[in-house]
Chains A and B, each alone.
Chain A
Amino acid sequence: MIRPALVVNGIGKAYVEYGGELRRFASWFGVPITLESQHWVIRNITFRVDPGESVGIIGQNGAGKSTLLKMIVGTTRPTEGDVSMDGRVSALLELGLGFNLELTGRENAVHSAGITGIPHAQISELMPEIEAFAEIGEYFDQPIRTYSSGMQMRVAFAVATALRPDVLIVDEALSVGDSYFVHKCFDRIRKFRELGTTLLIVSHDPGAVQALCDRAILLNNGKMVLDGEPREVFDYYNALIAEKENSTVRTERSADGRIATESGTGEAFVDRLDLLDESGAAVEYVGVGQIVTLRAYVSVRNDVNRLVFGYMIRDRLGQAVFGTNTHHTGQACGPLASGDRVEISARFPMNFGPGAYSVSIALSETETHLAKNYQWRDLALVFNVANLDKSTFVGSAWVPPVIQIEHVATSAASEGLAR
C-alpha cells in the first residue's frame, strides 16, 4: 500500500467561550474551567490523499472550508483529531501577505520565501527563476508600492511556487491578475501535479476543480457530505444551492454507475427528454455537425405563474459546453394550470467535438434555478458525438474553417521541374 501524502483523521474545530478572559488565562495554568459554550464549526472530517492525487474541496460560504484548510496548513490547531503530512507543504491561501510596500520585489521575494522556511542560501539560488517566472522586468528591483496589484500577485505566486512542494494547498481566492498569468499559474500547478505533487484546492469554480482534480470533497455546515468524482460532487453542490428553498436532494446511481442528482419542488417536471435526429428518431450517437432536436415533455402538477426551461450540455469532465434557457431566448411560458402539458424543442447543429456529453435540465420560474426551482436534473440524458464525415480535428468544438493557400512565389528549381 502507498503511504498517503496527507491523512486527515477525524478533525474538528470548536470555538470556545470561556465566559471571560481571566477564566481563559487560568485554564492555561491547569485550573479546571467549565466552558461556557462550545461552538463546532466543523467536525468529523476524515479523508486521506495519496501522493500525486489532487483533491478539490468545495462548499458554500460558512461550510468550513477555510477552517479545514487552516487546520491542514497548521495555522489553527484542531480541537480534536489530527492531521499528518509527508514532505514539504506549501500553502497559497492568500498571495502577497507580509509584503512591505517600501521594499523592492526582490527584497520582498527573499522575505516571503524566508517565511515559508526556505534557508537563505537556497533562496539566492532560486531568485533568478523567481524573477523569470514573475516576468515583470525592471520592476523587480523597484519598490512594491509602484506595482499594480497584478504585478504584486505575479511576484507573490512566483515566490510561493519557487520550490515544488510535496503537498500544495491552494485557496480559491487565487486571483492572479491577467488571464495570461492565470494560465501560467495553472500550468505550473499542473506541472507540479505531473511531477507527483499532491494538490488540495478549495474552490467555487467548477472549471478549475474539474480540470485539476481527481476527486472532490463537499462540505456543508461543517460536515463532510460527499467524497467522490468531481462531477458528481459538483452536481450535488449545485443541487444544494438550489435546495435552500427546502425540498429534497437525492442522488441515484444510474445504470452506468454514475450518480445523477435531482432536486426541486416538483410543481412542474420533465416527463421525458429525447434527443432526436431529423427523421424524429431518438439517437444516442450523433455525428459532428448533424442537426438534432432536444425535446422535453413537461407536465405541470400545480399552477405556476411562469415556466422557464433551461438545458446545459456538459463534456465528460462536467464542464459546461453550451447552455441556455427560454428566459434568455425570450420564450418563457405561463401562467400554466395544473394538468397542462408543454412540449419544448430545441433544434441545433451538433457542432461539438467527438466525445461523451451529458445534458442537465432545469425548470424554474426565473432565469436562475436559485429562486423558484421546479426541477433540476443532472445527467438527464447522455449522448456521444462521433466524427463521421468531417476532416480530422481535435477539441470540443466543431468550427469548420475555410483554408486558403496561395502559391505566391515559385522557385527556380520547381520551375525547372515544371519544364
Chain B
Amino acid sequence: MSALIRAAWRYRGFVASSVANEFKSRLSRSRFGVAWIVLHPLAQVLIFATILSSVLAARLEGIDNKYAYAAFLMAGIACWSLFAEIVQRCLTVFIDSASLLKKVQFPRITLPMVVIGSATINNLALLAMVLLIFPLLGLMPTLYVLWLPLLVALTVALATGVGLLLGTLNVFARDIGQVMAVVIQFWFWVTPIIYPVSIVPEAFRSTLALNPMVPLVMGYQNVLVYGKAPPLGLIGVALVALVALLLAMLVFRRASSEMVDIL
C-alpha cells in the first residue's frame, strides 16, 4: 500500500499535467470550451425545474422563495454529478487505456487519479457558479457553506471507492459496466435529488437509509438551500466510503498484476 502511495506521489506532476491536458483538449475545439462543464448540469436543472416545479414547488417546505425548487435541484445535482462522473469514468478508465497499460510501465493508480482530479475541478467550477447564482435568486449563502469542502471530499471518497472497485472488476467481467449504466440511473431516482425527502412515503424511509448518497445529497441541500448543518448520517457515509476505498485498493492491488493479461 505504501508503495502505491509513493508511486502516486512520484507521479504527481504527471497527474497534474494530465488533468490540465484534459481541459486544454476540451477547450481547443469547442467554442464554449470549459463553459460546458457548468452548462450541462445547469441545463439539467433547467429541464427538471421547468417540468417539475409546478408539481413539487409547493411542497418544498420552509423556504419562501419562488426559485427555491431550482436552488434545491442545483444543490442535489452538484453532488450527484460529481459522484456519477467519477464512478462512470472509473468504470472504463483501465479498458480505455488498454494499449498504454500493455506497453508502458507506469503506476496504474495514476489513471483513476486523473479522473478524480478533473471531475473534482469540474465540480468546483459548478459549485462556484452555484454560489454566484444563489444570491441572484435571492438566497444568501450562510456560514454553513463551510461544510462544502467536507461534503465534496466525502462524495469524492465514496465515488472513488465505488468506481475503482467496479472499474477494476469491469476489466475482467465487462458486464459490470453495462449493468452499472442502468444502476446509476436507478440510483439517481432513488436519491432525493429532484424531490425532497419529506415526500417519500414512510414505508420507504428505512430503505432510503441504506443509500449512502442520501445523507450526502441532503447535506448539500442543507448547507446551500436550507442554511443548516448536514444530517448526522454523514458519519455513516464516511464509514461506508472508507470501507469502499479500502476494499477497492485491496482488489486493485490484487488485480493489477492480472489486468494486463486480460486487456
**What is A's interface to B at a CB cutoff of 8 Å?**
15, 21, 24-25, 28-29, 70, 73-77, 89, 91, 93-94, 97-98, 100, 102-103, 107, 110-111, 114-117, 119-120, 143
Contacts and interface: CB of A to CB of B under 8 A. Distances in A.
Interface string B31-52: 0000000000000000000000
Contacts of B255: 28
A97 B100 contact: yes
B194 to A, nearest CB: 35
Interface in B230-255: 250-251, 254-255
30 contacts: A15-B261, A21-B169, A24-B172, A25-B172, A28-B255, A29-B254, A70-B102, A70-B260, A75-B105, A91-B103, A91-B105, A93-B104, A97-B100, A97-B104, A98-B104, A102-B24, A102-B28, A103-B21, A107-B21, A107-B24, A111-B21, A114-B11, A114-B13, A114-B14, A114-B17, A115-B14, A115-B100, A115-B104, A117-B106, A143-B28
A15 B173 CA distance: 17
B216 to A, nearest CB: 28
Contact of B17 (A29, A91, A111, A117): A111
A76 B106 contact: no
B166 to A, nearest CB: 12
Given A97-B104, A98-B104, A116-B104, A77 B25 contact: no
B254 A28 contact: yes
B130 interface: no
A109 to B, nearest CB: 11
Contact of B99 (A70, A94, A102, A103): A94
A291 B18 CA distance: 66
A25 B17 contact: no
Interface string B182-201: 00000000000000000000
Contacts of A103: 21, 24-25, 28
Contacts of A29: 254
B125 interface: no
Contacts of B24: 102-103, 107
Contact of A28 (B17, B99, B173, B251): B251
Question: Which of B101, B104, B260 gathers most chain A CB within 10 Å?
Answer: B104
B103 A119 contact: no
Contacts, number: 81
Contacts of B25: 100, 102-103
Nearest to B107: A117
Interface of B: 10-11, 13-14, 17-18, 21, 24-25, 28-29, 97, 99-106, 169, 172-173, 250-251, 254-255, 257-258, 260-261
B169 A25 contact: yes
B38 to A, nearest CB: 21
Question: Which of B28, B169, B251 gathers most chain A CB within 10 Å?
Answer: B28
A97 B103 contact: yes
A117 B104 CA distance: 11
Given A28-B250, A97-B100, A117-B11, 17 more contacts: A73-B105, A75-B101, A76-B102, A76-B261, A93-B104, A94-B99, A97-B99, A98-B97, A100-B25, A102-B24, A102-B25, A103-B21, A107-B21, A111-B14, A111-B21, A114-B18, A115-B14
Contacts of B29: 102
Contact of B172 (A21, A111, A114, A143): A21
A24 to B, nearest CB: 6
A120 B13 CA distance: 6
Contacts of B257: 77
- Leading 5 A-B pairs by shortest Cβ distance: A114-B14, A28-B254, A102-B25, A120-B13, A77-B257
Contacts of A76: 102, 260-261
Contacts of B97: 98
Nearest to A114: B14
Given A21-B172, A28-B255, A119-B13, A91 B260 contact: no
B104 A91 contact: yes
Contacts of B21: 100, 103, 107, 111
A75 B102 CA distance: 6
A202 to B, nearest CB: 13
Nearest to A100: B25
A24 B258 CA distance: 10
B17 A120 contact: yes
Contacts of B106: 115-117
A119 to B, nearest CB: 6
Contacts of A102: 24-25, 28-29
Contacts of A100: 21, 25
Nearest to B13: A120
A110 B100 CA distance: 16
Contacts of B100: 97-98, 115
A166 B257 CA distance: 25
A51 B250 CA distance: 38
A77 B257 CA distance: 6
A15 B260 CA distance: 11
Nearest to A78: B257
Contacts of A89: 105
A250 B27 CA distance: 63
Nearest to B169: A25
Nearest to B255: A28
Contacts of A77: 257
B111 to A, nearest CB: 10
B13 A75 contact: no
Nearest to A101: B25
A75 B101 CA distance: 7
A103 B19 CA distance: 13
A106 to B, nearest CB: 11
A29 B21 CA distance: 37
Contacts of B104: 75, 91, 93, 97-98, 115-116
A24 B169 CA distance: 10
Nearest to B105: A74
Contact of A21 (B103, B105, B173, B260): B173
